Structure 1
Amino acid sequence: MTTLTSREFNQDVGRAKREARLEPVFITDRGRPSHVLLSFEAFRQITGQTESLVDLLAMAESPAAEAEFESRSRWETREERF
């Protein structure tokens, strides 16, 4: 298990990313764990996500995905007003 302080993480993000390919990296803030950096593959395994990038891109071409994107865009626009 790799543990980095917030300062170490900020000074060497590349190291954190390399370590995260092998195992989760715990990032501490004032000595307490505050974040965990995972590889995307590890995240997919933990969440049970089975879609590949190709599947997700194919979904983006469907009309349902367009409708979802449009609704998100409207929401973001409303958020920006406030």
Structure 2
Amino acid sequence: MTIMSSREFNQDTSGAKRAASEGPVFITDRGKPSHVLLSMDEYLKLAKKGNIIDALAMPGGEDIDFEPPRMTNFSPKPVDLS
């Protein structure tokens, strides 16, 4: 796993792509992860898994902060079972 600041990424995009061939590259913005660069093969593997549980089970997944957005303006509709 590689961590780069946004500035480092902008100055060395080819280096980030090389690092992504070895594993995910986390790009930070003001010290906090904001983006992840993956090789196409790794992206396709994740896309095939189809759920967040499998994605978080990948090596290094325990280091991922996952905070799903809260649902706002949600009003459940009654179900008619007749």
TM norm structure 1 = 0.58
Structure 2: gaps of 5 or more residues: 50-82
- The 4+ residue runs of structure 1 with deviation greater than 2 A are none
Q: Are 2:11 and 1:11 aligned? A: yes
| CA RMSD in angstroms, aligned pairs only | 1.1
Q: What residue number does 1:27 align with?
A: 27
Task: Give the deviation of 1:41 after TM superposition.
Answer: 0.3
1:22 is paired with a residue whose SS is coil
Query: Matches of 1:27 and 1:45 in 2, distance apart?
Result: 20
Identity of aligned residues (%): 57
Shift of 1:4: 0.1
Rounded Cα–Cα distance in structure 2 between residues aligned with 1:30 and 1:48: 32
Aligned residues: 49
The CA deviation at 1:17 is 0.1
Alignment of structure 1 residues 41-80 onto 2, 5 Å:
41-48=41-48
Shift of 1:6: 0.1
Give the Cα–Cα distance (whole angstroms) in 2 for the partners of residues 45 and 22 of structure 1.
Answer: 14
Structure holding more helix per residue: 1
TM-score using structure 2 length: 0.58
Once residues 22 and 31 of structure 1 are traced to their aligned partners in structure 2, the CA distance between those partners, rounded to angstroms, is: 22
